[in-house]
Amino acid sequence: MRRIWTEGDERVDRTGVGTRSLFGETMRFSLNDDAIPLLTTKRVYWKTALRELLWFLTGDTNIRPLLAQGVKIWTDWPLDTYRSATGDEMSAEDFEARIVADAAFAAKWGDLGPVYGHQWVNWPRYEPVGEGLFRRATQGHNQISALIESLRNNPGSRRHIFTGWNVADLDRMALPPCHMTYQFHVRSDGGLSCLLFQRSCDLGLGFAFNIFEAALLTRMIADQCDLHAHEVVWTGGDVHLYLNHSELVEQQLRRVPEGAPKLRILRRPATLFDYRFEDFAVESYAPQAHIPAPVAV
């Protein structure tokens, strides 16, 4: 954060807010002994991040189930679409309440397009129907199930990958995936490592969630494959701080990181898709105060 703030290249970005950014940065986080990457220089709402990850794994792309659990981090994009399409300047609160109360309204306005969850568990497949024609198969490809199979049956493989970057679908997504490609590696001692490539990273807001979720997913996958989680290696393409996050950045840089949070998984369900919110506990997490910051839409 300090390097981006002091050395980053200042530029105008898609949102118009402006950022300072570095390109191509790597960080490594040990997952040994239940260690979990959670910032301690501000409170990270890890329960929100957990709910987001479980929602990805359902394959759903509508914000309705998130809002029903009080998770509001994805509201701004469908709300923006709604306002531009209708000219109705509905407040975020009213929009969120309407999405939860009205299924038809949610179906029309609450969907983000074929984003993460859809690509992870239901990547579109096409079957030949003769004469060079193809038909979309009713059931897509579940990249996560295939990953679990390959880790179990062929641990030494160098092809343990899933990705949300479906080029053909990008223009129908509310946002193209940021945390886009995950590769896994099994060590000879049964340690499982994950390498996440994130093409674009909002270090002030999104990153805290992204790194926690990558670690969480690695833990879940390790459990399901009788491995132990070893490390998350994170590589960012455009890693940036938004210029309107100066309060957050300067406060965090004044604070001293402290403590070593742990993640416990309390149950091993039958498959990776059967984890529930109550199956996870974070211990020894006593962060400094939360610092609110605006999200660039």
Ligand X SMILES: O=c1ccn([C@H]2C[C@H](O)[C@@H](COP(=O)(O)O)O2)c(=O)[nH]1
Q: Phi and psi of 85, rounded to 5°?
A: -75, -35
The C-alpha torsion from 102 through 107 and 113 to 115, rounded to 10°, is 60
Minimum distance from residue 49 beta carbon to ligand X (Å): 10
Which residue number has the CB closest to ligand X? 206
User: Distance between CA 255 and CA 57 in Å, rounded?
Assistant: 35
Options 1, 31, 178, 192, the catalytic residue = 178
Binding part of the chain for ligand MHF, among 32-40, 142-150, 200-208, 266-274 by CB under 6 A, reads 200-208
Q: At how many degrees (to 10) do helices 143-153 and 206-224 cross?
A: 50
Binding-site members for dUMP are 14, 158-159, 199-202, 210, 240-242
Q: Cβ neighbours of residue 282 under 8 Å, at least 6 residues apart?
A: 36, 38, 46, 261, 262, 263, 264
Site for ligand X in 6-35 (CB under 6 A): 14
- How are beta strands 228-242 and 19-30 bridged, if at all? antiparallel
For ligand MHF, which residue of 147, 205, 221, 227 counts as binding (CB under 6 A)?
205
For ligand X, which residue of 44, 178, 221, 293 counts as binding (CB under 6 A)?
178
Q: State yes or no: residue 75 binds ligand X (CB under 6 A).
A: no
For ligand MHF, which residue of 206, 243, 265, 273 counts as binding (CB under 6 A)?
206
- How are beta strands 228-242 and 262-265 bridged, if at all? unpaired
Of the pair 49, 225, the CB lying nearest ligand X is at: 49
Q: State yes or no: residue 176 binds ligand MHF (CB under 6 A).
A: no
Minimum distance from residue 242 beta carbon to ligand MHF (Å): 7
φ/ψ bin of 218: left (φ > 0), alpha (ψ from -120 to 50), beta (otherwise) = alpha
Compute the half-sphere exposure of residue 94: CA atoms within 13 Å on the CB side of its CA.
Answer: 6
| 141 touches 78 (CB < 8 A) | no
For ligand MHF, which residue of 29, 30, 34, 72 counts as binding (CB under 6 A)?
72
Q: Which residue, 180, 179, 175, is CA-closest to 165?
A: 180
| Size of interface with ligand MHF, in residues (CB under 6 A) | 13
178 in catalytic set: yes
Site for ligand X in 190-249 (CB under 6 A): 200-202, 206-207, 210
Site for ligand MHF in 74-93 (CB under 6 A): 74
Residue 74 contact, options ligand MHF, ligand X, none, Cβ 5-8 Å cut-off depending on partner type: ligand MHF
User: Distance between CA 123 and CA 119 in Å, rounded?
Assistant: 4
Q: Which residue ranges make up the site for ligand X (CB under 6 A)?
A: 14, 175-176, 178-179, 200-202, 206-207, 210
Q: Which residue ranges make up the site for ligand MHF (CB under 6 A)?
A: 45, 48, 72-74, 175, 202, 205-206, 209, 292, 295-296
Q: Known catalytic residues?
A: 178
